[in-house]
């Protein structure tokens, strides 16, 4: 059996004044506790099926009542929750306007839109999350890297004081690799700058083709990427700088992921692989700067953010250079070594305290929380059902957990008590050396990544036009993405390599239906 808690959490929660597991969830949620009978009923509903002769009840609606009809246009990921009220849809539209707004540099006559940068990766949220879908690496020298960037950090020296999360983890007996933002380039590299400032770098990507032999005479070609930070604007990188490429992830279903009870996510963790199935998922725990305490990490490629609101504020700061009530530095990711950037004009003057205020951040959060998951296609198709059996028999649900039931939320009716099908356990897993970035983040080491939700993945091409997968977009097809799995995913990958060609085709067909 998987353990229902983690050793470090047990120690933490045993301390005087510590809260129970539910407080690792989102503090803003008005949660109605579950009864024992309800928990038992939910366990039955979310158990893995053994019947692949037909689709499961409600399987066609991966977002529960919040699901929407799948439309075959680039707007497929831009629809509001299917169960949203007319009055609340207005807030969704206002949030959409802020999500799409192009920010400008200061000073400007458009006082509500100035404050861009001084260093930035994009001028709007939508420029990275293309049509609310995923980004992609630059496809050739003429293509912009606007939906992809490099995170950067350096190892912390022993003399440096611990961060809040490092100190917390050490206090409960867990020592993690310590790192800091680069002293010159900060936490991520920005490839644009406002007038009068220098951009930090230009992203260069090159690929080496690797051939993989499959059963029945088939082959696949993978591309192994190499990344370089060219045209550095502020001197050479530190000799021990750690770089991690990231494309913007798709935005659908975030509110439903946020509404999954923390205890249900923790119940899937098995860091010591006590059941000997080769899967050792670990919960990410991060420091919430909004709530000033440790929280369960859920969002981002390494689950580095605890909530949609904090993730949104972090993106405003790092990607666009916009201050908010959570990250209030008007110069965004600029460091003390970039004195000109800090001294430059910003958009927090006059009556504005931050460049996006609490109301604006709340609207963007509401919009992000209510981007709906499209309904499944062809759930009863015989090849899709065959692919589903292959998916289960290959062990994929050990990480890509199909189902959860969200909390009862009095203040979020769209996400309240929904049976959802994200196909993710939201835990960290060792994905092997091939996908490793060798850059720790919180509890995640350089080989660990959060299991990516699979809902909507079959509509990537429809929404984004350029369909690439994994954290850096190296995979050009779903099969390539599977073949990159290593570490805890190696056994499932090897089964895919060796299975009959028809089963492999059915598996991909199933994934395309999600």
**pLDDT per residue over 185-216, tens digit each?**
999 999 999 999 999 999 999 999 999 999 99
pLDDT band at 14 (very low <50, low <70, confident <90, very high): very low
pLDDT band at 321 (very low <50, low <70, confident <90, very high): very high
Helix H segments across 400-487? 460-464, 478-483
What is the pLDDT, as a whole number, of residue 307?
Answer: 97
**415 or 28: which carries more pLDDT confidence?**
415
What is the pLDDT, as a whole number, of residue 465?
Answer: 87
Mean of pLDDT values over 8-12 = 44
The pair of structure tokens assigned to 65 is 């009542």
Decide if 20 is inside a domain. yes
pLDDT reading at 15 higher than 80: no
**445 or 32: which carries more pLDDT confidence?**
445
Decide if 208 is inside a domain. yes
Three-state secondary-structure class, residue 23: helix
Decide if 1 is inside a domain. no
pLDDT band at 171 (very low <50, low <70, confident <90, very high): confident
- Output the average pLDDT for the chain: 92
pLDDT band at 40 (very low <50, low <70, confident <90, very high): very high
DSSP 373-389: PBPPS-TT-HHHHHHHH
Decide if 274 is inside a domain. yes
Single pTM value for the model: 0.93
Closest residue by Cα to residue 313 from 348, 362, 346, 350: 362
pLDDT band at 25 (very low <50, low <70, confident <90, very high): low
Tell me the per-residue pLDDT of 476-490, one tens digit each, with 9 for 90 and over: 999 999 999 999 999
The pair of structure tokens assigned to 407 is 């909390």
Decide if 252 is inside a domain. yes
Residue whose entry in the numeric block shows the structure tokens 């497929």: 76
pLDDT reading at 21 higher than 50: no
Decide if 2 is inside a domain. no
pLDDT reading at 226 higher than 90: yes
Which of 28-42, 166-180, 428-442 has the lowest average pLDDT?
28-42
What is the pLDDT, as a whole number, of residue 26?
Answer: 62
Decide if 460 is inside a domain. yes
Domain extent at residue 406: 7-513
**107 or 397: which carries more pLDDT confidence?**
397
The pair of structure tokens assigned to 228 is 């370089």
Tell me the per-residue pLDDT of 104-139, one tens digit each, with 9 for 90 and over: 998 887 777 889 999 999 999 999 999 999 999 988
Contacts 24+ apart (CB under 8 A), 495-500: 495/393, 495/394, 495/395, 496/394, 497/212, 497/213, 497/214, 497/215, 498/215, 499/215, 499/390, 499/394, 500/215, 500/216
| Number of domains present in the structure of the chain | 1
The pair of structure tokens assigned to 372 is 């709906």
């Amino acid at each position: 059996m998987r353990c229902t808690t983690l050793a470090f959490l047990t120690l933490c929660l045993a301390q005087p004044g510590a809260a129970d597991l539910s407080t690792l969830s989102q503090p803003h949620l008005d949660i109605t506790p579950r009864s024992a009978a309800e928990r038992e009923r939910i366990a039955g509903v979310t158990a893995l099926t053994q019947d692949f002769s037909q689709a499961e009840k409600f399987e066609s609606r991966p977002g529960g009542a919040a699901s929407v009809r799948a439309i075959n246009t680039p707007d497929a990921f831009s629809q509001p929750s299917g169960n949203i009220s007319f009055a609340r849809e207005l807030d969704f539209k206002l949030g959409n306007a802020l999500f799409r707004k192009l920010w400008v540099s200061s000073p400007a006559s458009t006082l509500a839109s100035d404050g861009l940068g001084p260093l930035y990766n994009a001028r709007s949220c939508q420029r990275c999350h293309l049509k609310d879908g995923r980004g992609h690496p630059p496809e050739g020298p003429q293509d912009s890297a606007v939906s992809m960037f490099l995170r950067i950090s350096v190892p912390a020296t022993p003399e440096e004081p611990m961060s809040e999360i490092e100190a917390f983890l050490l206090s409960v007996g867990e020592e993690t690799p310590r790192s800091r933002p680069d002293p010159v380039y900060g936490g991520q590299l920005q490839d644009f700058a406002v007038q009068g400032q220098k951009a930090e770098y230009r992203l260069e990507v090159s690929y080496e083709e690797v051939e993989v032999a499959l059963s029945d005479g088939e082959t696949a070609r993978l591309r192994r990427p190499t990344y370089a930070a060219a045209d550095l604007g502020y001197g050479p990188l530190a000799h021990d700088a750690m770089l991690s490429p990231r494309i913007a992830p798709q935005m659908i279903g975030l509110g439903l992921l946020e509404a999954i009870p923390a205890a249900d996510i923790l119940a899937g963790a098995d860091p010591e692989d006590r059941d000997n199935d080769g899967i050792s998922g670990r919960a990410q725990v991060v420091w919430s700067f909004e709530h000033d305490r440790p929280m369960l990490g859920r969002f981002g490629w390494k689950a580095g953010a605890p909530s949609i609101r904090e993730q949104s504020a972090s993106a405003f700061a790092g990607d666009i250079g916009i201050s908010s009530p959570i990250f209030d530095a008007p110069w965004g990711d600029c460091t003390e070594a970039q004195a000109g950037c800090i001294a430059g004009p910003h958009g927090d003057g006059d009556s504005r305290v931050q460049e996006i205020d609490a109301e604006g951040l709340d609207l963007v959060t509401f919009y992000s929380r209510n981007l709906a998951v499209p309904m499944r296609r062809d759930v009863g198709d015989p090849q899709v059902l065959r692919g589903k059996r292959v998916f289960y028999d290959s062990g994929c649900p050990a990480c890509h957990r199909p189902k959860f039931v969200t909390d009862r939320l009095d203040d979020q009716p769209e996400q309240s008590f929904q049976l959802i099908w994200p196909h993710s356990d939201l835990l960290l897993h060792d994905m092997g050396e091939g996908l490793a970035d060798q850059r720790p983040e919180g509890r995640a080491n350089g080989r660990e990544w959060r299991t990516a939700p699979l809902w909507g993945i079959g509509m990537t091409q429809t929404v984004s036009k350029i369909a690439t997968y994994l954290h850096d977009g190296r995979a050009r097809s779903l099969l390539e993405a599977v073949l990159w799995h290593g570490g805890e995913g190696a056994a499932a990958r090897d089964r895919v390599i060796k299975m009959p060609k028809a089963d492999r085709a059915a598996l991909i067909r199933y994934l395309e239906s999600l």
